[in-house]
Structure 1
Amino acid sequence: MQQLLRSVVAQLFLQLLLVTAILGEDHYMRADFPADFVFGSGTSASQYEGAAFEDGRTPSIWDTFAHSGRTNGANGDVACDGYHKYKDDIGLMVDTGLEAFRFSISWSRLIPNGRGPINEKGLQYYNDLINELITHGIQPHFTLTHIDTPQALEDEDGGWLSREIVKDFLEFANVCFREFGDRVLHWTTINEANVASLGGYDEGAIAPAHCSRRPFCAKGDSTTEPYTVVHNMLLAHSAAAKLYKEKYKATQNGEVGINIYTLGIVPYSNSTEDVIAAQRARDFYFGWVINPLVFGDYPDTVKKRVQTRIPAFTEHESKQIKGSFDFIGSNHYTTVYVKDDPNTKRDIKDFYADMAVELIFGQSTGAPAEGYNVVPWGLKELLEYLKQAYGNPPIYIQENGQMTRRNATLNDTSRMEYLQAYIGSVLDAVRNGSNTKGYFVWTFLDCLELLSGYEKSFGLYYVDLDDEELKRYQKLSARWYSNFLKGKSSRLNAITQVKENVSLSL
């Protein structure tokens, strides 16, 4: 009787799921995307590699931050041990059907002092990683820095607060282009330039933990430092892009871009105040980085509100920055409604006080998600805005994924549903003329998360931290993504996988 009841419940659940899929979800396949559109997944050096003290690597600002106890007691000393296990992981990528893998280079592994001699063992590791990816037909998409500036540069000059880092970053980029550019065609200079600045120099929530709030941050000035950091990042990016164009592009034929964190932004109401506030939020979040790249200067809205606290570009710098990109990398997770907040009361005059808006997270479509609110239309709206405001530049969605609690439950249906919805929204945008070139799931493995340590996860694969070999296990979302990449229907694939999952659980 109990077995019969379970069977009836399972069948009712599957019928309900099938009806939901037919009525409420888009049906699409890999073949519906352009032939040159690329699908992949990614991670970063600090979150994946481990081997933090091996073979000549020195600490980065992220190591220092993590060892201060700010990431729930977690650190990247071992992480996923990708430094030793990358071949096995690339085997999983092949099984999954990944077309590309986005990864960052540990600056302090390749050039331990931030400038000067190259670490030959670090050089060998990245050469081996690149060669292994290419051997298996997987495009390497490399990011030069992902919130992990060498601690040596931070101690000596102040890291991104100093103009000296422009020269240091240029030399680092030159080494990477020279040593790896014959095989790496896709370069992102800086990951989330806007968030690296805000989190590290306004809020103190990530490395190097600067802010004006004492004693939360031991040092920093939130009124000016975020603007100085993004300014220096843009100078460093444009210098690296110029170097690549002049010295390497003719022979290597690659592309160079920069990455920003992007929210879907919509007005809270139709009031004039909220509509203006939403545009102001776009100018601060996106325009802060993209406007100089496209138009040669910061948005007028930003300059008028921040005034002398934001550095000014010289005529030469403006010319160098304008057009210094082949693509924009977008990290996107969810959407917010923006409400005007003209009477912002903050103890500190900083980015958020300058922006003067209230951010309200949008409601999920369907069942509430465990992590980010699922608002796939927000990504479509974002891509349309980037198309209209900036002349439809090439875009790679370099991070998109669902956060869940980190546990051994492999049936991550919320992540599967999230990916199905958001990839569908990308297809809608492409069909509407968006010049979006690729999509990367964040992340390939459960790894060290920069804000939550090992308590939260984004991975397609679970990593058992209690196992000496750090064994990897495929999740339901990985099966869904793999089947989609191998040509199956997004809808039928989802139904089939969940059906198998329910059968196994009863």
Structure 2
Amino acid sequence: MATRSLLLVFLSAWLLLLLLLLQAVSSLQLTRSDFPDGFVFGAATAAYQYEGAAAEDGRSPSIWDTYTNSGRHPEEGNGDVACDGYHKYMDDVKLMSEMGLEAYRFTISWSRLIPSGRGAVNPKGLQFYNSMINELVKAGIQIHVALYHLDLPQSLQDEYDGWISPRIVDDFTAYADVCFREFGDRVAQWTTVLEPNALAQHGYDKGDLPPNRCSYPFGSNCTGGNSTVEPYLFVHHSLLAHASAVRLYREKYQAAHKGIIGINMYSIWYYPFTDSAEDVGATENAKAYMILHPLVFGEYPEAMKKAAGSRLPFFSSHESELVTDSFDFIGLNHYTSNYASSNSDVVKSPLQDVTADIAALFRDPQGLEHVLEYIREKYGNFLIYIQENGQGGTDGSMDDVERIECLAEYIAATLKAIRNGANVRGYSIWSFMDLYELFGGYYKSHYGLVAVDFGSTKRRRRPRRSASWYSDFLKNNAVVKVEDGFASAASHAQL
């Protein structure tokens, strides 16, 4: 009997240990203090979507103004007023400080700072950005600046077709020089271009973003273009312009300003639609279009070369050297995962209601872990910032529990990736407040921690429940609990 009792005790101990191990695997509790020293949490906006004042104080039209005022998408409106951030930025910085934001990522409007695209600097534009940056400095908020997000002055688009011409490299570098010179002493992080891989597709293939270029049958209702060639030209010149600006910054400003500089990519994790070799291959091809390969190896990946053939530009030896290692960090805008298939008739987007499984894939925090592991294994363990992540709500609810759950899951996924060796040093929510969104304008998708009343001329701001949750996490080291990779509404019931 004694032996049997000892055996039962022994088995019970092992069962208890097994249960504890299973709980450890399936459950994760984290706080702000669990992240490494130097890690920063923030939120983001972008100029045209936030500033408004589209025709004030010397600002000239950008390709975005032309697009939204073309009449092609009347239901989406335009960014003429947006959040009126141009006039309300001081109150907004105060809100950021009260929330406990550690960093703020915003973009500069090229057409506000240098209205003609090159040459004379607009003093009012210079004053606006200096004033906003100074307010952020006073609030102790780390400043992250992106130089380009669809704010190309329309004059450059008219003169030489903008980004599909190699002439853009010199003009962008000169514009970057002004920004580095005027603001660099206070900017901790520079991002040259946001999402060039996504902008290539939507601006030059589908044509549903500025400058609205595409060709049949790949897009419709466009002003002109060639969907088979121009997306590759845009990416190529974006990489060259980025690399040129990075070289300038490193040679002329970095030693004194002590900032870092990089580029941003839109990140999607791809799963094969089936287990077939063809779909697995399609998945790898899709990942190649994140466009990291040239920045590490100085040339396009074989998958792109094979797919595009002679339509894909090539780097000269000088350009290859310029582009290689032209970053201190890579920024990722990551929201979702997707399926890839070799069968073009298969619908691969989780946003389309093909099956419940595909639709459920939209919120996939493990996909972020996969992306970070993939980058580390394929390209190297370089410095990464998650520069955008979030969830939109169609109804604009103030009690946005689903957004809280989503943010908790992705923040937990970021920490898990770090513990597995990923060199991630920042996470920012899209977006700090409701904005004029790329797809849907003002009313179809609300991403903001702070709600904005777009029906009022005063553009009243009201922090949502998610803003209080994020503030509690940042300022009070509140515990976030995630089970099986997913947060539950019950875990946030006390907010």
User: What is the TM-score of this pair, normalised by structure 2?
Assistant: 0.89
Is 1:240 aligned to residue 228 of structure 2?
no
Aligned residue runs from structure 1 range 325-474, under 5 A: 325-341=327-343, 344=344, 359-361=348-350, 373-407=362-396, 409-455=397-443, 456-474=445-463
State the one-letter code of the partner of 1:179: E
Structure 2 Cα separation of the partners of residues 24 and 312 of structure 1: 47
- Deviations along 1:200-238, one digit per CA (max 9) or x if unpaired, are 000001000000027521300001000011100011000
Distance 1:163 1:418, change over 3 A: same
Structure 2 Cα separation of the partners of residues 70 and 446 of structure 1: 23
- Deviations along 1:155-186, one digit per CA (max 9) or x if unpaired, are 11111011111010000000000111111120
Partner of 1:104: 107
Structure 1 Cα separation of the partners of residues 72 and 27 of structure 2: 40
- 1:91 deviates by 0.8
State the one-letter code of the partner of 1:28: L
Structure 1 Cα separation of the partners of residues 481 and 403 of structure 2: 15
Distance 1:494 1:340, change over 3 A: closer
- 1:497 deviates by 8.3
State, as a whole percentage, how many aligned pairs show the same letter: 49
- 1:406 deviates by 4.4
5+ unaligned residues in a row in structure 1: which ranges?
Answer: 1-20, 346-356, 502-506
Check whether the contact 2:401–2:465 (CA below 8 A) recurs between aligned residues.
yes
Q: 1:249 aligns with which of 251, 254, 270?
A: 254
Distance 1:458 1:331, change over 3 A: same
Structure 2 Cα separation of the partners of residues 303 and 111 of structure 1: 36
Aligned residue runs from structure 1 range 278-317, under 5 A: 278-283=283-288, 285-286=289-290, 289-317=291-319
Q: 2:222 aligns with which of 208, 217, 225?
A: 217
Distance 1:215 1:443, change over 3 A: closer
Check whether the contact 1:476–1:497 (CA below 8 A) recurs between aligned residues.
no
Partner of 1:16: none
State the one-letter code of the partner of 2:493: K
Is 1:88 aligned to residue 91 of structure 2?
yes
Check whether the contact 2:51–2:86 (CA below 8 A) recurs between aligned residues.
yes
Distance 1:368 1:412, change over 3 A: farther
5+ unaligned residues in a row in structure 2: which ranges?
Answer: 1-22
- Deviations along 1:382-437, one digit per CA (max 9) or x if unpaired, are 11001111111211111100011143x20011111100111100000000000111
- 1:466 deviates by 2.4
Check whether the contact 1:334–1:372 (CA below 8 A) recurs between aligned residues.
yes
Is 1:56 aligned to residue 44 of structure 2?
no
- 1:368 deviates by 9.9
Check whether the contact 2:401–2:489 (CA below 8 A) recurs between aligned residues.
no
Is 1:488 aligned to residue 475 of structure 2?
no
Structure 2 Cα separation of the partners of residues 267 and 431 of structure 1: 26
What's the secondary structure of 1:197's corresponding residue? Answer: helix
- 1:477 deviates by 1.0
State the one-letter code of the partner of 2:272: P
Partner of 1:166: 169
Partner of 2:273: 268
Distance 1:464 1:277, change over 3 A: same
- 1:269 deviates by 3.1
- 1:328 deviates by 0.7
Runs of 4+ in 1 over 6 A off after TM superposition: 21-24, 367-372, 492-497
- 1:371 deviates by 10
- 1:271 deviates by 2.5
Is 1:192 aligned to residue 192 of structure 2?
no
Structure 1 Cα separation of the partners of residues 249 and 315 of structure 2: 22
User: What is the TM-score of this pair, normalised by structure 1?
Assistant: 0.87
State the one-letter code of the partner of 1:157: Y
Structure 1 Cα separation of the partners of residues 409 and 491 of structure 2: 16
- Deviations along 1:435-486, one digit per CA (max 9) or x if unpaired, are 1110000000001001110121100010012233211111111111111112
Partner of 1:13: none
State the one-letter code of the partner of 1:329: G
What's the secondary structure of 1:79's corresponding residue? Answer: coil
Check whether the contact 2:114–2:121 (CA below 8 A) recurs between aligned residues.
yes
- Deviations along 1:86-127, one digit per CA (max 9) or x if unpaired, are 010111101111000000000000000000100001001100
State the one-letter code of the partner of 1:154: Q
Bigger mean CA offset, 485-494 vs 437-446 = 485-494
